[in-house]
Amino acid sequence: GAGVSQTPSNKVTEKGKYVELRCDPISGHTALYWYRQSLGQGPEFLIYFQGTGAADDSGLPNDRFFAVRPEGSVSTLKIQRTERGDSAVYLCASSLSAGGYNEQFFGPGTRLTVL
Amino acid sequence: EDKVVQSPLSLVVHEGDTVTLNCSYEVTNFRSLLWYKQEKKAPTFLFMLTSSGIEKKSGRLSSILDKKELSSILNITATQTGDSAIYLCAVERGSTLGRLYFGRGTQLTVWP
């Protein structure tokens, strides 16, 4: 595609529910990143994939958060037992690869609201 | 603890003014510094800086890195209302390739 796309654009859920957020990177980009941005803050790193494998998942806040990229393209961020503190904009980015001074291109984000 | 600090946090100017946004960083194993513009939700890439003293320029925007002072500035000349946005600074470390450490951003508002 022309750019990084994310679905849904908005998601409202109730505390305790499970949610999945999807990211479709730019075609040909092997690296994919997830960030979370709370109001008034800069994006905070969660996890990144090089191909199908998670190269760095040290930003995931706890074991309720999990992400997959089974075919090296689309990625899904999964959040179990959502809490009100999970409310934020979840941004996905992709780049040609990690480590080659390649800029990251961001998608429009998914605004998650946990009631 | 690694830190990226931007100043000012917000700035209001009139069209035609020139602005300078600041970013300072304290990270180990510095690799690159990036500037992004964020309108609504998606940050869009502006510049990547890796070497000290070399200015990068794109139209009315320019940026330079000072590795000795551990800082960078982003200049915008002849500001327009379309420049209103949050400007984000991010740093990449060589030991954690791919992972960007962002500052809180500078909210720039340009009045007509």
**pLDDT for residue B98:** 85
Q: Does B4 touch chain A (CB under 8 A)?
A: yes
Q: CB neighbours (10 Å) of residue B20?
A: 11
**pLDDT for residue B95:** 85
B window 43-82, beta carbon within 8 A of A:
43-45, 48, 50
CA distance B23 to A47: 24
> If you compute the radius of gyration of chain A from its CA atoms, what whole number of angstroms results?
13
User: Which whole number is the average pLDDT over A71-98?
Assistant: 95
Convert the pLDDT of each residue in A37-66 to its tens digit. 999 999 999 999 999 999 999 999 999 999
Q: Does A51 touch chain B (CB under 8 A)?
A: no
Higher pLDDT, A101 or A92: A92
* Strand spans (E) along B1-112: 3-7, 10-14, 19-26, 30-38, 43-49, 56-58, 61-66, 71-76, 85-93, 100-102, 106-111
**pLDDT for residue B16:** 98
Mean pLDDT of chain B: 94
Convert the pLDDT of each residue in B93-110 to its tens digit. 988 888 999 999 999 999
Binned at pLDDT 50, 70 and 90, residue A1 comes out as low
pLDDT higher than 60, residue B15: yes
Residues with Cβ within 8 Å of A90's Cβ and at least 6 positions away in sequence, in order, are A6, A21, A34, A35, A36, A37, A77, A109, A110, A112
The alpha carbon of residue B44 is apart from the nearest alpha carbon of chain A, in Å, by 7
Convert the pLDDT of each residue in B57-93 to its tens digit. 999 999 999 999 999 999 999 999 999 999 999 999 9
**pLDDT for residue A90:** 98
**pLDDT for residue A101:** 83
3-state DSSP call for residue B49? Answer: strand
**pLDDT for residue B23:** 98
Which backbone phi and psi does B82 adopt, to 5 degrees?
A: -70, -10
Q: Which among B41, B97, B101 has the least Cβ separation from residue A109?
A: B41
Binned at pLDDT 50, 70 and 90, residue B40 comes out as confident
**pLDDT for residue B94:** 86
Contacts of B32 in chain A (CB under 8 A): 101
Binned at pLDDT 50, 70 and 90, residue B41 comes out as confident
Q: Does A25 touch chain B (CB under 8 A)?
A: no
